[in-house]
Structure 1
């Protein structure tokens, strides 16, 4: 399982438990779809929206051992 898939799963858990700010939920949903379809990668987030990056970084930290 690649890192994008793990991040998508964690982001979905975070959405379910209301840990994602409402202001970025739609963007996170779109990002999850792109990750799942393989049309986006974590590297593309480096110069993106800082609020989205923050949520994704939280998810990454939660999946790291």
Structure 2
């Protein structure tokens, strides 16, 4: 995973290294209290889904099946 921080909202975004340079994946952001999900290709302009860490873990388990 590659990390990069955005200064405006204190979210540290991670993109899978397996996504390559095409940008067709989602990024996971972390804050001190929750997780965020956004579309990589839209970057800063992407809508952001804010979820709890437990909800993100459930989502990850569901889509990996």
Q: TM-score, normalised by structure 1?
A: 0.28
Structure with the larger RCO, 1 or 2 (CA within 8 Å, 6+ apart): 1
> Rg larger in 1 or in 2?
2
Higher helix content, 1 or 2: 1
Of Structure 1 and Structure 2, the greater strand share is in 2
Alignment TM-score, normalising by the size of structure 2: 0.28
